[in-house]
A and B are shown apart, each in its own frame.
Chain A
Amino acid sequence: MMSSSSRPILEVSGLNKWFGAMHALRDVDLTVGAGERIVVCGPSGSGKSTMVRCINALERYQKGLIRLEGEAINPDCDSVLGARRAIGMVFQAFNLFPHLSILDNITLGPRKLLRLSRPDAESAAMILLSQVRMEDQARKMPSQLSGGQQQRAAIARALAMNPKLMLFDEPTSALDPEMVKEVLDVMTALAEAGTTMICVTHEMGFAKAVADRIVFMDQGKIVETADPTAFFAGDCCDRARSFVGTTTSGQA
């Protein structure tokens, strides 16, 4: 019992990634245990998206190892589709399928990959939609919804595959300010329900309330890993401190 619950869901070790000559990730190490909630922050271009995309095997990497429950993840290995299926991803731009209704967006994966029948997939999807408070929008098309609603639907779509780990890449950055809260509320509820998640965000209020650990990245490196209390107490390196200073003053 003890050993299985302490086995990490995700292990990233010595991860290096280049875009041509540009060294985007430098020796990134990160271990995420079951039920852990990690918030990743850092200045623009620091490699946050790149790290998350490597974890989900959307990008190739040149050095290091990423393991999901012990299994190596790499875009070129056969198990990559299974790994992606086991990891839910929420994008900044929502990326809902515009030709499908919200319900079909959510049931597509379960029906085609998990081989659920349509009624089964739809009843499961309706439960997820009620979790993201969208049950009355099931039959609508994505373009009929607000950004906040689309992002909540996208969260439901990722959850429908029963992922072991959820990745969020700046899920609220493309939203109008009044819709940010409805998405953060859904994410907070997920966190409280024990979902393992890595969340790239600049929402420091969310980080403070939800994160078990905050990871601060700069120039492709993880320069700081701290729990929220220590992080916001400025109990860390100068760069992180000035970053926290700019984001919180920017919000005030």
Chain B
Amino acid sequence: MTAVVNSSRVERSPAIAQLRRRLAWARANLFARPIDVLLTSTIAAAAVALLWAIVPWAFIDAVWVGENRAACRPDAACWAFIVNRGGQFLYGFYPQPERWRVNAVFLIFAVSVFLLLRRDTPGKRVVAFFLLLVFPILGYVLLHGGVAGLSRVTTDKWGGLSLTLLLGVAGIVVSFPIAIVLALGRQSEMPLFRWASIAYIEICRGLPLIAVLFMARILLPYAFPVGSEFDPLALAVTGIILFESAYLAEVFRGGFQAIPKGQAEAAAAIGFGYWRTAIYVTLPQMLRVVVPGVVNNAIALVKNTTLVVILGLFEVLNIVAAGAADPDWLGLHAEGYVFVGLVFWGLCFAMSRYSQSLERELKAAERS
């Protein structure tokens, strides 16, 4: 008996103590002076009013199932549109039975990035080699098909969120090695290599992506014989890579500059030449420093991919807008844009959280 009483007392008292601490915290931080009381209640009232306006529209009265506009209510969100079109928002016009190929490509990418960034993966160099050199080709072959029994899916069928991610992944993965070469070039002692790198970086960094994409669309055909056909997706990827590699190169240059000069000297003193010093000493240290910068760039790039609408591509924003122009779902723009906004926010938030945890882990690795 006594034992039971004791244990419940032990359980309850920390909970009470915690409640007391919270109340004390609120009193000290939220209601200390009259002005605090005023501010706290104003903000709380605004938050309540906002929720009052959103919650009924977005949740309570919202319609989740339905075949077309007729199922919707005029005063509430019609998520049936999103649910109904979900497949298209994710995969564009990629044929239904072939969508596993899209999933496979992203699964391969996710697994290799995870392996690469995890601390104790053996043979990381093989994974990096795979990700930077094999994966882009493998991914293209899988998605495009036309070989090895895979049916051919032309790039005009690609679309939706998977196209957005594809542009982001291709932009980062392909730009990564190019940017490393450019960053090395910028500091190189060979004048021609250095000048070329600086010129490239400064030109591409000074242009907005939207201008690069416009130029790809409008100027490129002039540079080639009349009648040459350009795949809009290839143009978009090329434009993004041109742009992104210049930005990443600057991030990498900052990373190299953060390494004390003594590191390269210590490597030289062992007898390492330029390449060994880069591969074993400066590059690994640089890559640890630049994680936040690369993620920042990736976040900006994912949002920038919406600009490929200029080339007529149906990335997620464009395909949702197109969906809202469909007679069946005419005019459901609000739902579409809220959905796209949430998707982008979710992607970018996830990336930023992941980079924070990665930074912590890298710091811990240097200490243990």
B322 within 8 A of A: no
Known contacts A112-B276, A143-B367: A99-B285 contact under CB 8 Å: yes
Of residues 231 through 287 on chain B, the ones whose CB sits less than 8 Å from some CB of chain A are 260, 262-263, 265-273, 276, 280-281, 284-285
Chain A residues whose CB sits within 8 angstroms of the CB of B285 once the complex forms: 97-99
Give chain A nearest CB distance to B219 CB in angstroms. Answer: 44
CB <8 Å contact, A112 and B272: yes
Q: In the complex, how many residues of chain B place their beta carbon closer than 8 angstroms to a beta carbon of chain A?
A: 22
CB <8 Å contact, A113 and B262: no
A158 within 8 A of B: yes
B8 within 8 A of A: no
Q: How far is the CA of A93 from the CA of B269 in the complex (A)?
A: 14
Q: Nearest A residue to B265 by beta-carbon distance?
A: A58
B229 within 8 A of A: no
Chain B residues whose CB sits within 8 angstroms of the CB of A161 once the complex forms: 270-271
Additional 9 contacts, C-beta under 8 A, given A91-B262, A99-B285, A112-B280: A58-B265, A81-B271, A95-B263, A95-B265, A97-B281, A109-B270, A141-B365, A161-B270, A161-B271
CB <8 Å contact, B368 and A58: no
Q: How far is the CA of A216 from the CA of B265 in the complex (A)?
A: 26
Of residues 20 through 75 on chain A, the ones whose CB sits less than 8 Å from some CB of chain B are 56, 58
Cβ-neighbour of A113 out of B265, B271, B365 (below 8 A) = B271
B120 within 8 A of A: no
CB <8 Å contact, B266 and A109: no
Of residues 128 through 164 on chain A, the ones whose CB sits less than 8 Å from some CB of chain B are 141, 143-144, 154, 157-158, 161
Q: Is the interface of B mostly helix, strand, loop or mixed?
A: helix
CB <8 Å contact, B367 and A56: no
Q: Nearest A residue to B271 by beta-carbon distance?
A: A85
Chain B residues whose CB sits within 8 angstroms of the CB of A157 once the complex forms: 270
Q: How far is the CA of A158 from the CA of B366 in the complex (A)?
A: 22
Of residues 274 through 302 on chain B, the ones whose CB sits less than 8 Å from some CB of chain A are 276, 280-281, 284-285, 288
Interchain residue pairs with CB less than 8 A apart (29): A58-B268, A81-B272, A82-B271, A84-B270, A86-B271, A88-B269, A91-B265, A91-B266, A93-B260, A95-B262, A95-B263, A96-B266, A97-B263, A97-B267, A97-B281, A97-B285, A98-B285, A109-B270, A109-B271, A112-B280, A113-B270, A141-B365, A141-B366, A141-B368, A143-B366, A143-B367, A144-B368, A158-B270, A161-B270
CB <8 Å contact, B270 and A108: yes
Chain B residues whose CB sits within 8 angstroms of the CB of A58 once the complex forms: 265, 268-269
Q: Most chain-B CB neighbours within 10 Å: which of A82, A95, A157, A158? A: A95
Give chain B nearest CB distance to A81 CB in angstroms. Answer: 5
9 nearest A-B pairs in the assembled complex, by CB-CB distance: A85-B271, A95-B266, A89-B269, A95-B262, A109-B270, A84-B271, A81-B271, A99-B284, A81-B273
Known contacts A93-B262, A98-B285, A108-B280: A158-B368 contact under CB 8 Å: no
CB <8 Å contact, A141 and B367: yes
Q: How far is the CA of A144 from the CA of B267 in the complex (A)?
A: 21
Chain A residues whose CB sits within 8 angstroms of the CB of B271 once the complex forms: 81-82, 84-86, 109, 113, 161
A-contact 0/1 string along B35-59, CB 8 Å cutoff: 0000000000000000000000000
Chain A residues whose CB sits within 8 angstroms of the CB of B260 once the complex forms: 93, 95
B-contact 0/1 string along A185-218, CB 8 Å cutoff: 0000000000000000000000000000000000
Q: Nearest B residue to A91 by beta-carbon distance?
A: B262
Known contacts A108-B280, A112-B276: A84-B266 contact under CB 8 Å: no
Give chain A nearest CB distance to B85 CB in angstroms. Answer: 48
Q: How far is the CA of A249 from the CA of B105 in the complex (A)?
A: 72
